[in-house]
Chains A and B, each alone.
Chain A
């Protein structure tokens, strides 16, 4: 019974925490410009994240050490310095975008510019981390994030063309604007497979004191949570495809997106959209802030735990304090949130090899994982994700230059 509760809570947490500013913005842009044709990118990103999270959770459950700990020990401090820098820079930009997402939701609700909301939002993130425990931070925000189910309701009420959606799940070459199409595909993949997600997941396993009895819980949670979360992302793309594509609306600013649920849900559609944007971005901002502090603490060998009093692990607490307030600055200074989101999603996609390829070696180290090492299915999946990550690294910069405008 306890395990079922664990699994249910884990799945709900994964669903509620799946959508965030990047996945919303990129799915909407994809749906608005290419209809259902980029649904495959959402599905592929979800599948890749599912495998990466399952592996990082399994590694933590078996060894009681985080993914970052293993990477530092196995590949040395020089490699870890590169990994730390890359993941921190990317996470910082994504965090700034998430703070922008919450601030924009508040702007659209109140009429007060997002710039004025950035610092108060950062303060609220910090306060929740300062006073909350890991369970409160992770599950509290994710439970509220279930409001995103409104997208699934909206998509169903709009009666999507299931055959066309099914075809969209298979990768296909675009009929027009190929650089824009591939740019959005890379952005969607970057939004789905953010390194902070699996580093955070592995740290969370340690916070929750997982051991080998959690292997099955981890597998079921990662699989079901990501599948249902991925369905929500597809629902966002479907609503955008039905509402925006026939009207030839190309998304240049977040304000355009807020109206997308009003055709199927009326006034509630607007309210649910703002709640979804605000709550999911807030949840993601808290998670990225914590993930960055975890990574710094694990990299420098500091003591860390979100469950301990902040004063007990002062350097860890200082890390998240500095990170969250610094990340609010670009928004407070008026940087365009959508441009920053697109830029950070492409950069995220380009950063993947540095964390994915080492995972392939770690997950096959029998000295570390014993009988819990990767089987052939996981190895084939991880090998393909590694190849995909190299492809994304090569394609990201040219596509940023050609397809982002």
Chain B
């Protein structure tokens, strides 16, 4: 019974969102994916700033930064399947991978370690600039 309920729950969890976004999400468009990654990086930046200023709670900052890392991870995965020309593709994947690691480190530091959070935020700054440059290169291609 419990197993059946759990399966039903899983089915709802999987099917409902799929129905809601049915046909809504286009096939992976590299520009769109990179834009989403930049958006989540900027979110991480804003949340880290707020956390360092003591404006948001630790649980909130941790959860949001975890969500940011997860979103960047998912978008990076779908970037792997897009048609991007080789030098740019490697550069994009390398940058998004670093971005994911930095944001994940920020989520771990958000609770107690302000110094690490501040350091990682600076690293995030430079990665955000790289993503911007990559978006410009992608637009030119």
Contacts and interface: CB of A to CB of B under 8 A. Distances in A.
Interface stretch (A47-55, A191-199, A336-344, A351-359): A336-344
**Which of A250, A253, A256, A335: most chain B Cβ within 10 A?**
A256
Contacts of A402: 24
Interface residues of A, number: 36
B35 A248 contact: yes
Given A249-B46, A270-B50, A110 B59 contact: yes
Interface in A199-238: none
Interface stretch (A137-145, A151-159, A258-266, A307-315): A258-266
A252 B60 contact: no
Contacts of A250: 35-36, 39
Nearest to A332: B9
Interface string B76-119: 00000000000000000000000000000000000000000000
Contacts of B42: 247-249
Nearest to A270: B56
Chain B interface SS verdict (over half): helix
A243 B53 CA distance: 16
- Main SS class of interface, A: helix
A76 interface: no
B13 to A, nearest CB: 5
Nearest to B8: A333
Interface string B41-63: 01101110010011111011011
A249 B56 contact: no
Interface residues of B, number: 35
Contact of A405 (B21, B45, B57, B59): B21
Nearest to B46: A259
A63 interface: no
Contacts of B55: 259, 262, 266-267, 269-270
B67 interface: yes
A259 B56 contact: yes
Nearest to B66: A255
B23 A401 contact: yes
B20 A252 contact: no
Nearest to B19: A343
Contacts of A77: none
A260 B71 CA distance: 19
B12 interface: yes
Interface of A: 107-111, 243, 247-250, 252-253, 255-256, 258-259, 262, 266-267, 269-270, 329-330, 333-336, 339-340, 343, 400-405
Given A252-B39, A266-B55, A335-B20, 20 more contacts: A111-B59, A247-B46, A249-B43, A252-B36, A255-B60, A256-B64, A258-B56, A258-B60, A259-B46, A262-B55, A270-B55, A270-B56, A270-B57, A329-B12, A333-B9, A339-B20, A400-B24, A405-B21, A405-B25, A405-B26
8 contacts: A108-B59, A247-B46, A250-B36, A253-B67, A258-B64, A270-B50, A334-B9, A405-B25
